[in-house]
């Protein structure tokens, strides 16, 4: 065994993010001191990013099964059956830390990574989504980060030719030093042609394909598992650099290869690069793997085994091929056609060891099963989040006028139009975008069919902060509601758990609470988790982000022609609120933006009510009884009505506040499980609602006046609202 000249000191161990206990475990597994390459491999595998050591205990409690689930968590992406022999393959993943350090490349490679996770499984990506959280608009870095992240997502996704169809963008000072960039990809594959990562067949060749390996991104997985401090800027060299053109070639080459009968297993090289892909493939197959690192196509000269194993260069895959020469020749020809590297770098073995060579020299030898089995798992101490007091609506001062407050709210950073963002994304390529960005959920048609997938990402972090369990449930319920509002049936979710430092019991308490809420919601709504990602240590100088468990939801609709959309369609239609309005102002946007208060308990989430109301609304859409449908969320009823009017040309609404409530609580309260629908005939809907035990109330009618009237003598022009709504973001970004 060749041991590098560097002695492994406690400082080096600490620099690799390993605790003393973890290092002791490494010594035990190896029966000797590791060399630097081996230490690097352990460090990557034991990082929070790869090992889920703080979160595993809790993630395991989430429901992951349903008759339509083909593959739950643990693979590159989740897979669900969408009928007709087809499967949807999807996952969300964070690229938070790199995007703060280098927003364009960080966000671009986040998109690239999640695309690979999906096409590794044999699926052609058909839609991208993203959830972005930035600091306060007043923070000096925010504008630069927004511009860079959006351009990076656009640059990568547009070149790949995958439509970016939905997302969310929010601002809060808690993200000043630690933005969130979560990217989700959805792909389609034949349900019986899914590719997995478990290696099989000792002696089979291990193939490296795609781009060459450089020194970029070394230790990205470790970096993303530590807090930020003022030196983080110096970590810029650990941010990967993306090349969407190469990834497009890799996508086409992989899908072409997958149509042949040559692949045994395939895995993308994402976080921790060659290390995690080799270990995961061999580990899942119960095999060993021997690789000659000298055969890895390198972009730079004199790369060390350590660098080759830990580089996070993008656009690379590891493939186990069938052993016959014909398979190799067939595969090689495909990668030659696409002008991508194709190198046999090793073989599967029966030793159960990861054996690394550099030419003839042995540079690493690690038993895989003990490394994976002894991978740390912590039951971190946690403290429940103290309950917040309920804000009594009658104690919150009323605005001078409802429409005045509405105008203010609709021009705030969290409620204004995101057009400036999504017009930079090609959201129409593939010609299947049935609901474009800006609706409740996006909808993409399944090519050559009438079927559609409804897609959304949601989270309301201020609710999670105030009450993690309610907030966790609310995030799941909101995706379910957004999908339901298009008429689609929600099937499954992917989750992106963005939290602070789990070694702090308060933060761990947020995590545990959110998981508990999510579990309850997934169970109540028959809506399992099939994939996900955890991003911890989102802190800067000791200050954590808001707890942000982002949920990506996928639903299916049998006929896209029957989809529900947000915009008012005609005058003199009844406007009906489904669900009860109690005027819940605690943690509302109104309270924050108008009263400057971020406090109170968030609106309760009654999951049985969510299900009942949602199933009722979906039935109305399916049977063509409603002409428009919108879920009620941030900003409450008044914002929902305004958005429905903004989507139409020349239409308005005349509605009357509910009696018995302060009018501003009626207008801006954020009670859950609510929808606004319009219909030519309200009577049938009211009767059906009464029969189903669902609350349904006619609050007014659509008008042709182009005015939104919220009660006697209080109206505002929709075109004024529109310019307020549309202008904030472009005006903000125009300041240099």
Quick one: 4 or 717, whose CB is closer to another protein? 717
Cβ pair 290, 347 in contact under 8 A: yes
**DSSP conformational letter for 228:** B
The closest alpha carbon to 463, from 590, 586, 597, 593, belongs to 586
- Using the rule CB under 8 A, which residue among 55, 94, 128, 158 binds another protein? 158
Quick one: 373 or 423, whose CB is closer to another protein? 423
Site membership for another protein, residue 610 (CB under 8 A): no
Quick one: 239 or 434, whose CB is closer to another protein? 434
CB of 184 to another protein, least distance (A): 19
For 287-340, where are the alpha helices, taking DSSP H only?
A: 305-310, 325-337
Site membership for another protein, residue 427 (CB under 8 A): yes
The closest alpha carbon to 223, from 508, 6, 537, 534, belongs to 537
Site membership for another protein, residue 241 (CB under 8 A): no
Site membership for another protein, residue 243 (CB under 8 A): yes
- Using the rule CB under 8 A, which residue among 429, 656, 688, 698 binds another protein? 429
Annotated catalytic residue, options 16, 68, 95, 664: 95
* Whether residue 16 lies in the annotated active site: no
Phi, psi of 496 (to 5 degrees): -125, 100
Distance CA 194, CA 122 (A): 5
Quick one: 43 or 313, whose CB is closer to another protein? 313
- Using the rule CB under 8 A, which residue among 426, 458, 573, 634 binds another protein? 426
CB of 426 to another protein, least distance (A): 4
CB of 663 to another protein, least distance (A): 36
- 505-524 and 607-622 helices cross at what angle (nearest 10)? 40
Distance CA 606, CA 498 (A): 24
Q: Is 330 exposed, middle or buried (0-12, 13-18, 19+ CB in 10 A)?
A: middle
- Using the rule CB under 8 A, which residue among 42, 195, 335, 338 binds another protein? 338
Stretch that binds another protein, among 62-70, 241-249, 364-372, 514-522 (CB under 8 A): 241-249
Listed in order, strand segments (DSSP E) in 256-338 are: 263-268, 288-292, 316-321
Stretch that binds another protein, among 79-87, 203-211, 248-256, 612-620 (CB under 8 A): 248-256
What are the strands of the beta sheet with 707-710, ordered from one edge?
628-631, 675-679, 574-578, 696-703, 652-655, 707-710, 715-717
CB of 215 to another protein, least distance (A): 21
For residues 531-550, which are near another protein according to CB under 8 A?
none
For residues 360-379, which are near another protein according to CB under 8 A?
none
Distance CA 35, CA 4 (A): 6
Site membership for another protein, residue 249 (CB under 8 A): yes
- Using the rule CB under 8 A, which residue among 160, 223, 393, 518 binds another protein? 160
Contact pattern from residue 287 through residue 316 relative to another protein, giving x for each residue in contact according to CB under 8 A and a dash for the rest: ------------------------------
Site membership for another protein, residue 227 (CB under 8 A): no
Which residues, in sequence order, are CB contacts of 60 under 8 Å at separation 6+?
none
- Using the rule CB under 8 A, which residue among 129, 430, 621, 641 binds another protein? 430
Quick one: 93 or 243, whose CB is closer to another protein? 243
Quick one: 68 or 427, whose CB is closer to another protein? 427
Cβ pair 148, 100 in contact under 8 A: no
Quick one: 138 or 336, whose CB is closer to another protein? 336
Stretch that binds another protein, among 57-65, 69-77, 189-197, 427-435 (CB under 8 A): 427-435
Which residues, in sequence order, are CB contacts of 358 under 8 Å at separation 6+?
292, 293, 294, 305
* Whether residue 139 lies in the annotated active site: no
Distance CA 353, CA 290 (A): 8
Distance CA 573, CA 53 (A): 55
CB of 318 to another protein, least distance (A): 22
CB of 658 to another protein, least distance (A): 37
Cα 639–Cα 644–Cα 650 angle in degrees, nearest 5 = 120
CB of 155 to another protein, least distance (A): 8
CB of 378 to another protein, least distance (A): 44
Site membership for another protein, residue 451 (CB under 8 A): no
Stretch that binds another protein, among 14-22, 44-52, 418-426, 675-683 (CB under 8 A): 418-426
Helix, coil or strand: residue 421:
helix
Which residues, in sequence order, are CB contacts of 373 under 8 Å at separation 6+?
none
H/E run at residue 366 = strand 361-367
Stretch that binds another protein, among 147-155, 183-191, 213-221, 234-242 (CB under 8 A): 147-155
The closest alpha carbon to 418, from 444, 442, 434, belongs to 442
Site membership for another protein, residue 428 (CB under 8 A): yes
Quick one: 433 or 496, whose CB is closer to another protein? 433
| DSSP-derived secondary structure for 66-95 | -TTEEE-BTBSSEEEEEETTEEEEEEEEE-
- Using the rule CB under 8 A, which residue among 36, 115, 132, 154 binds another protein? 154
Quick one: 252 or 654, whose CB is closer to another protein? 252
Cβ pair 317, 280 in contact under 8 A: no
Q: What is the largest CA-CA distance in the chain?
A: 86
- Using the rule CB under 8 A, which residue among 431, 596, 660, 713 binds another protein? 431
Annotated catalytic residue, options 16, 49, 219, 427: 49
- Using the rule CB under 8 A, which residue among 57, 252, 384, 580 binds another protein? 252
CB of 113 to another protein, least distance (A): 19
The helices-and-strands tally (H runs, E runs) of the chain is 25, 28
CB of 182 to another protein, least distance (A): 21
Stretch that binds another protein, among 98-106, 184-192, 420-428, 500-508 (CB under 8 A): 420-428
Quick one: 560 or 607, whose CB is closer to another protein? 560
Stretch that binds another protein, among 226-234, 245-253, 325-333, 461-469 (CB under 8 A): 245-253
CB of 246 to another protein, least distance (A): 8
CB of 422 to another protein, least distance (A): 8
Q: How many residues bind another protein (CB under 8 A)?
A: 32
CB of 160 to another protein, least distance (A): 7
Cβ pair 266, 320 in contact under 8 A: yes
Cβ pair 369, 362 in contact under 8 A: no
The closest alpha carbon to 344, from 324, 305, 318, 365, belongs to 318
- Using the rule CB under 8 A, which residue among 248, 316, 380, 618 binds another protein? 248
In angstroms, what is the C-alpha Rg of the chain?
26
Stretch that binds another protein, among 157-165, 656-664, 671-679, 704-712 (CB under 8 A): 157-165
H/E run at residue 550 = strand 548-557
Site membership for another protein, residue 244 (CB under 8 A): yes
SS (H, E, C) 151-207: HHHHHHHHHHCCCEEEEEEEECHHHCCCCEEEEEEEEEEECCCCCCCCCCCCCCEEE
Which residues partner with 71 through β-bridges?
Answer: 79
Site membership for another protein, residue 706 (CB under 8 A): no
For residues 549-608, which are near another protein according to CB under 8 A?
560-561
CB hemisphere CA count around 714 (13 angstroms): 19
Distance CA 329, CA 357 (A): 25
Q: Could you list the residues that contact another protein (CB under 8 A)?
A: 151, 154-155, 158-161, 243-246, 248-249, 252, 338-339, 422-434, 445, 560-561
Instruction: Provide the annotated active-site residues.
Output: 49, 95
């Amino acid at each position: 065994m060749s041991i590098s000249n560097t002695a492994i000191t406690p400082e080096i161990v600490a620099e690799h993010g390993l605790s003393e206990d973890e290092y002791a475990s490494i010594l035990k597994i190896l029966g000797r001191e590791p060399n630097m390459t081996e230490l690097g491999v352990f460090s990557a595998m034991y990082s929070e990013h790869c090992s889920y050591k703080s979160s595993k205990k809790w993630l395991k409690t989430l429901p992951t099964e349903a008759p339509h689930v083909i593959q739950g968590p643990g693979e590159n992406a989740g897979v669900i059956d969408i009928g007709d022999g087809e499967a949807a393959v999807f996952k969300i993943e964070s690229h938070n830390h790199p995007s703060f350090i280098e927003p364009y490349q960080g966000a671009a490679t986040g998109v690239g990574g999640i695309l690979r996770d999906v096409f590794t499984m044999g699926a052609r990506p058909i839609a991208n989504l993203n959830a972005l959280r930035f600091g306060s608009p007043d923070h000096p870095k925010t504008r630069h980060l927004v511009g860079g992240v959006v351009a990076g997502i656009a640059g990568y996704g547009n070149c790949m030719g995958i439509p970016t169809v939905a997302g969310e963008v929010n601002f809060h000072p808690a993200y000043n030093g630690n933005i969130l960039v979560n990217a989700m990809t959805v792909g389609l594959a034949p349900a019986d042609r899914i590719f997995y990562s478990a290696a099989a067949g000792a002696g089979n060749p291990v193939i490296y394909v795609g781009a060459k390996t450089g020194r970029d991104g070394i230790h990205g997985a470790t970096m993303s598992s530590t807090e930020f401090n003022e030196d983080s800027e110096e970590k810029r060299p650990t941010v990967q650099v993306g090349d969407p053109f190469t990834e497009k070639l890799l996508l086409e080459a992989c899908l072409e290869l997958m149509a042949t009968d040559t692949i045994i297993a395939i895995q993308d090289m994402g976080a921790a690069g060659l290390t995690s892909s080799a270990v995961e493939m061999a580990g899942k197959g119960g095999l060993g793997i021997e690789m000659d690192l000298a055969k890895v196509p390198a972009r730079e000269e004199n790369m060390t085994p350590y660098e080759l194993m830990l580089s996070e260069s993008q656009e690379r895959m590891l493939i186990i091929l069938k052993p016959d020469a014909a398979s190799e020749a067939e595969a090689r020809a495909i990668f030659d056609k696409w002008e991508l590297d194709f190198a046999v770098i090793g073989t599967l073995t029966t030793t159960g060891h990861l054996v690394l060579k550099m030419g003839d020299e042995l540079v690493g030898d690690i038993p895989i099963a003990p490394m994976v089995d002894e991978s740390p798992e912590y039951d971190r101490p946690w403290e429940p989040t103290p309950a917040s007091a309920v804000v009594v609506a009658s104690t919150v001062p009323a605005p001078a006028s409802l429409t005045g407050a509405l105008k203010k709210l609709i021009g705030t950073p969290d409620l204004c139009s995101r057009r400036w963002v999504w017009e930079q994304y090609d959201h129409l390529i593939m010609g299947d975008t049935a609901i474009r960005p800006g609706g409740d959920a996006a909808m993409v048609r399944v090519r050559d069919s009438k079927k559609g997938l409804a897609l959304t990402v949601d989270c309301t972090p201020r609710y999670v902060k105030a009450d993690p369990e309610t907030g966790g449930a609310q995030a799941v319920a909101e995706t379910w509601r957004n999908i339901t509002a298009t008429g689609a049936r929600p099937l499954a979710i992917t989750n992106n758990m963005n939290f602070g430092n789990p070694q702090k019991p308060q933060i761990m308490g947020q995590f545990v609470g959110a998981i508990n809420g999510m579990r309850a919601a997934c169970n109540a709504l028959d809506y399992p988790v099939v994939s996900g990602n955890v991003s911890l240590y989102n802190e800067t100088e000791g200050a954590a982000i808001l707890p942000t468990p982002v949920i990506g939801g996928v639903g299916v609709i049998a006929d896209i022609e029957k989809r529900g959309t947000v915009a008012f369609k005609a005058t003199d239609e009844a406007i009906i609120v489904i669900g009860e309005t109690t005027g819940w102002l605690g943690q509302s946007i109104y309270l924050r933006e108008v009263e400057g208060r971020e406090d109170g308990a968030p609106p309760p989430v009654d999951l049985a009510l969510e299900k009942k109301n949602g199933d009722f609304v979906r039935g109305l859409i399916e049977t063509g009884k409603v002409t428009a449908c919108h879920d009620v969320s941030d900003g409450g009823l008044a914002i929902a009505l305004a958005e429905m009017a903004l989507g139409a040309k020349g239409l308005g609404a005349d509605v009357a506040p509910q009696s018995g409530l302060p009018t501003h609580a009626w207008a801006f309260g954020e009670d859950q499980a609510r929808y606004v629908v319009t219909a030519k005939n309200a009577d049938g809907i009211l009767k059906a609602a009464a029969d189903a035990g669902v609350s349904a109330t006619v609050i007014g009618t659509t008008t042709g006046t182009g005015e939104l009237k919220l009660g006697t003598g209080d109206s505002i022009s929709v075109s004024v609202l529109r310019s307020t709504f549309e202008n904030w973001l472009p005006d903000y970004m125009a300041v240099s």
